[in-house]
Each structure stands twice: as C-alpha cells, then as structure tokens.
Amino acid sequence: MPDPAPSPRTRARRLNYKAAYDRPTIDAILDAMPVAHVGHIVDGFPVVTPTLHWREGDRIYWHGSSASRMQKRATGEQVCVTVTLTDGMVLARSGLEHSVNYRSVMVFGRAEVVEGPEAKAAHLKTMMEQMFPGRWDQLRPITAQELKATRILSLPLTEASAKISAGPPLDPPEDVTWPVWAGVLPIRLTMGTPEPAPDLAPGIAVPDHATDYRIG
Amino acid sequence: MPDPAPSPRTRARRLNYKAAYDRPTIDAILDAMPVAHVGHIVDGFPVVTPTLHWREGDRIYWHGSSASRMQKRATGEQVCVTVTLTDGMVLARSGLEHSVNYRSVMVFGRAEVVEGPEAKAAHLKTMMEQMFPGRWDQLRPITAQELKATRILSLPLTEASAKISAGPPLDPPEDVTWPVWAGVLPIRLTMGTPEPAPDLAPGIAVPDHATDYRIG
C-alpha cells in the first residue's frame, strides 16, 4: 500500500493510527472550527497567531490587516496552519495514559496573497455567507479603502493531514482493574444567547443567521 | 511611561490597545485553557502542534514522548507557545468590522528540558493535581520506564504577552443606524456528562475531580 501522506512533512510520525489524509475528514474539521493557529517564521523565530480561517473547495483562506507584520511576512513564505477542536479529557488508570480527545488538521505550504479588489470582496462575501447565510447583502457595503486595507492569504490543501483522537481510555489489560474511575469528560463549544449591541437601533430582531450559528 | 512589553518581539504591533503584559492577566488566560499551540521550526519551515500545557509559578510546561520529532527538535530551540480562548463572534454593521472576542497569550523563548526522573514525576503530579485534585495518588503509580519515555519542556514567562478582545461591535458612528442586527454571539467551552470507560470495574463512582472539571 502506498504511503497515503501527500508529503514527508505531512506524514504523522507519532500515533500514526490517529492520522488521516482523506479530504472529507480534513474538510469536516476545517469547516467545524473557524479559529486557526498560523505559524510563521519571523526574524528566525516561530510566531503562532490565532486567526479566523475559512475553506473554499481545495483551499483555505485567512485575512488580516495589510499593515500587519504577520500578514506581510507570511506572503510567499512557508506557513503552517493548524486547526484544533478539543473534544474531551481522557482519564485513564495511570498518569501517562491520560490524554485528550481532539480533532486537528495541519496544512503546510507557501502562503499566497489574493490580488485585486473584486477577488478580495468575493472571498470575504463567501466567508461571511458560510458563517452567517444572507448577512453580507444586509451589511453596509464594503468600501474600496477597506478592501485595500485587507490582505487575504491562502493555502492549497495539497499538504494537509488530520489527526483524530476519540473514544475511551486505552489502558493496558493489567491496569484495567485498578480501582480508580476512568472515562471521558466531554468538552463542547456551545453558543450562548445572542447579545444585541448596546447601540442597536430599536425594532431589529435577532436574525436566524445569528441564532442558527454553531461551531465545533 | 516606559514600554510595558518585556521585549520587542513581545510587543503588540496591531491593535495594541488590546495588549496586556501584566502577569495576573497572562496567568488567568494560561490557567483557563490547557490546550496550547506550540510553534517550532523544523527543517526551515514552521510547524504548529496542539498540546496540553500547564503553569507552575513563573513557567509553563508541556510534555510529550521522548521519541517525538517535535519534542526533540524543540529542546533548546526557539519556540512560540500560544494559548487562545474563543469567547464570541462579533457581528457588526459592516463586513470588516466583524471580529472575534478572544483571550490569548503568546510566550516566546528557548524551550528547556526538565532533567531527571524525580523532577519529571513531580511536574507530572503538579499537572494532574491542578487539573484533577486528588487523582494522582489514586492512579497506578508511574514507572521508571514511563518517565524515561516522557519529555517535559518548559519556558519561563519572561517573554509573554496577552491580547484580549471583548465587548460589543465598535462600528463608527455613521454606521450605527444601518438597519442590520449587530451584537455578540457568545461561545463557551462546556463540559458534558462524564462517560465511564466501557471496561470500568463495577462500583466506582464518578469522582468530584471529574464532575468539577471546567475549562475556559
């Protein structure tokens, strides 16, 4: 069977039974969690920045200010975008069998910048529509100056891998009878009640795209 | 007033009104969220790995397998450890005023390895006691072989900074009357009902350290 990893650096070295390289698995994790951690190299040291990301087909995108040091440096440079969902704490019978249930994706590559105001506006609209369907067309329209001040970066999903840890603790047989509770403490991302802005004009109801929003 | 940032790379360039450098703020974020994203440089490219971390006084710690590529490479090398809590989606009247409420900490430095089985065991016990008070002494005792197979890395909090984004959308005055709902969709990490291991011995009740566990 050929190595399913798309590149050497993408291949999981440790716990490789938890690794997956198929796009449905990768896409499901990326689409469930909009917060990514982007790793850059700045002046020779690593910098990890949390940022929103979104997927369009075979690529992921993220955006920030054109003036941002991270955004400038990332253009054309090697980056690693990692998306992680924490699903539970796994309590085993011995200390080092304790673990975390999680779903994560790592994407490697050289960040590419989206050029041109029309393309940038189209990507921002797609991002918004994925998160809050119908909202973009209700907003105060985006301006040329706002587009100019926004940089959108992108990475193909050619060098992506997923890692999933799920299920109960896997203590070795000789530990299973140890008299301590073992199991999983599930962790979920939940949405609270929408909080209207204090300066919201009267008579504007909470829209479905706000009450329907879910992550995780 | 002197620059409060402990080093140039720690100083927030963008949105610096959201930055904080005081230890109570930094510690509260680190202590609320056990999942960190650690950035390393491997063969010239950045790698961002999710991992559990814990704080002891003026340092943070994280651990992994001694055989792990990341753990080996990180020893003595520059790393960036970032901890992020996502608190809400901020819906504004224009697209680019949309944002995320979050609390995050970045720690820079050269990772140091904890040497010696006694020191390693003591740190692992501290980690466990912080998460699940009273559990360590109930577990099947850790073995010399397990300690050998575990590498614990550490970083002082001398180069740490926090960034906090909170509150409602801050649209400019001319946008406030735009007829679209604006506000915050709160996001919380919640714990589900503990799930006992399928092979749990009968008669072992769920302990307080499991039902009391909270993150976020």
Q: For A8-169, which CATH class?
A: mainly beta
User: Could you tell me the two tokens for B101?
Assistant: 């409420």
Q: What is the mean pLDDT of residues B15-44?
A: 94
Helix, strand, or coil here: B195? Answer: strand
pLDDT digits (tens, 9 = 90+) for A16-49: 788 999 999 999 999 999 999 999 999 999 999 9
Enter the pTM of the model.
Answer: 0.94
Cβ of B144 under 8 Å from any chain A Cβ? no
Q: Rounded distance, CA A50 to CA B38, Å? A: 12
What is the 8-class DSSP label of residue A66? T
Superfamily of domain B8-189+202-211: Electron Transport, Fmn-binding Protein; Chain A (2.30.110.10)
For residues B180 and A138, the answer to whether their CB atoms sit within 8 Å is yes
pLDDT digits (tens, 9 = 90+) for A91-134: 999 999 999 999 999 999 999 999 999 999 999 999 999 999 99
pLDDT digits (tens, 9 = 90+) for A166-207: 999 999 999 999 999 999 999 999 999 999 999 999 999 999
Minimum CA–CA partner of B134 in chain A:
A180
Q: What is the mean pLDDT of residues A138-160?
A: 96
- Residues of chain A contacting residue B204, judged by C-beta atoms under 8 Å apart: 179-181
User: Would you say residue B69 has pLDDT above 50?
Assistant: yes
Angstroms from A5 CA to nearest CA on chain B: 16
Confidence grade of residue A2 (pLDDT, cut at 50, 70, 90): very low
DSSP E strand boundaries for chain B: 19-20, 35-42, 45-56, 59-65, 78-91, 99-110, 112-113, 150-156, 160-165, 183-191, 195-196
Cβ of A12 under 8 Å from any chain B Cβ? no
pLDDT digits (tens, 9 = 90+) for B137-170: 999 999 999 999 999 999 999 999 999 999 999 9
- Whether this model's ipTM surpasses 0.90 comes out as yes
Transcribe B10-70 into DSSP letters: GS--SSGGGEE--HHHHHHHHHH--EEEEEEEETTEEEEEEEEEEEETTEEEEEEETT-HH
pLDDT digits (tens, 9 = 90+) for B78-120: 999 999 999 999 999 999 999 999 999 999 999 999 999 999 9
* Domain locations in chain A as residue ranges: 8-169
